[in-house]
Structure 1
């Protein structure tokens, strides 16, 4: 029999935690050692119970799963975090990577996929749900800003107008507008201010 793996479940929906606990109870080598309904509780519980794996929901009240993952991986480096996400939240994959998570599993994943993911991350390996792989493979190409786009975003963050940016970079205002449109699309931002806020939060610019 494989070595025992201890798990902590962090999700704000009791029905989800219950379903996970039930699913994992069918695997003799996996033991659930705690449950948390928000990020702060997950960190506190992980510090006490020292689980091998933390199954972390992304959207929770108060501290979200990504912020909790960042802190948890610093405080309890022996615990591997498995991000437990809905398919509609796949745009958060990049942030999950940066937060220190070891793997990603969809809430819709079959039982065997969940077990494989837990075993992999418990072993220190990375794991990505097969259904999310296309997003991972295209992430760098589609989501990341080019050097020029980052440069323009930094100037916008410094308070420059399109005309100022155009003059500084020796390009036309139309070209600046085109770059700004691409930046908004890639960052899924509504306005320039929103794009700057996202870029600062994600440390794309400083």
Structure 2
């Protein structure tokens, strides 16, 4: 891993320049940290990691071209010891679990950056993991819930787009009765009262994205 002297080398990955600038300013004020790379997409993140080998990478999840979870997986495949902290606005337990399964060491809500960014970087650099209490609570709350299948997620994405069952059936190349069966299963698994409620729950938990 790259460091200058005893400083922690950090890469910031986010498609919003203002957020990158804000984080760079915070890092610049820390005597034990140095910004060594920036990226605006997942693809750039993989390339910049290979070029600079940062000690800690701060990774947004919602980005064009390649999302953060895919970028984490790609980086960790090449560098299994890479330490990556997710930056996100989403509280969802499903998205958090995806990130950790991809190889993230920390998960930080963007609303927490001002108070917790510096300590999180140090903790992850030291080999620890960082999960906000509210995310850990959500993960524990839904740990026993039955996960939606890949097809059920596809159906729910279509429903979230405002499509009726007939349109969903056409889009996915299945029968309308099959769509209805999937929706029944989705409502049961999510403990949702109707289609709109199911979409709301799925967005909140990070099962589907806007």
TM above 0.5, one fold?
A: yes
Counterpart in the other structure of 1:4: 7
Moved more, 9-18 or 94-103: 94-103
State the 4+ residue runs in structure 1 displaced beyond 4 angstroms.
88-91, 159-163, 176-180
Show the 5 A alignment for 1:37-76: 37-76=40-79
Work out the number of aligned pairs and report it. 171
- Secondary structure (helix, strand or coil) at the match of 2:140 reads helix
Runs of 5+ in structure 1 lacking a partner?
154-158, 164-172, 191-197, 199-206
Show the 5 A alignment for 1:123-142: 123-142=126-145
- The structural deviation recorded for 1:58 is 0.4
Contact 1:162 1:177 in 2 (8 A): no
Runs of 5+ in structure 2 lacking a partner?
153-173, 200-206
1:182 pairs with 2:188: yes
Counterpart in the other structure of 2:159: none
Report which structure shows greater RCO (CA 8 Å, sep ≥6): 2
Residues 11-69 of structure 1, C-alpha deviation per residue, up to 9 Å, x if partnerless?
00000100110111111101110100000100110011011111000000010000000
- The structural deviation recorded for 1:112 is 4.2
Indicate how the Cα distance of structure 1 residues 137 and 162 shifts in structure 2: closer, same or farther if over 3 A, else same.
same
- Secondary structure (helix, strand or coil) at the match of 1:127 reads coil
Q: Please tell me whether Structure 1 or Structure 2 has the larger radius of gyration of its CA atoms.
A: 1
Query: How large is the Cα RMSD of the aligned pairs?
Result: 3.4
Normalising by structure 2, report the TM-score.
0.68
- The structural deviation recorded for 1:95 is 1.1
Show the 5 A alignment for 1:183-202: 183=189
Show the 5 A alignment for 1:6-155: 6-88=9-91, 91-142=94-145, 144-145=146-147
Residues 131-168 of structure 1, C-alpha deviation per residue, up to 9 Å, x if partnerless?
433223323134x43xxx87xx8xxxxx89989xxxxx
Residues 165-204 of structure 1, C-alpha deviation per residue, up to 9 Å, x if partnerless?
xxxxxxxx9xx98645323669x976xxxxxxx8xxxxxx
Structure 1 CA distance, aligned partners of 2:45 and 2:183?
44
Contact 1:24 1:30 in 2 (8 A): yes
- Secondary structure (helix, strand or coil) at the match of 1:118 reads helix
Structure 2 CA distance, aligned partners of 1:45 and 1:110?
23
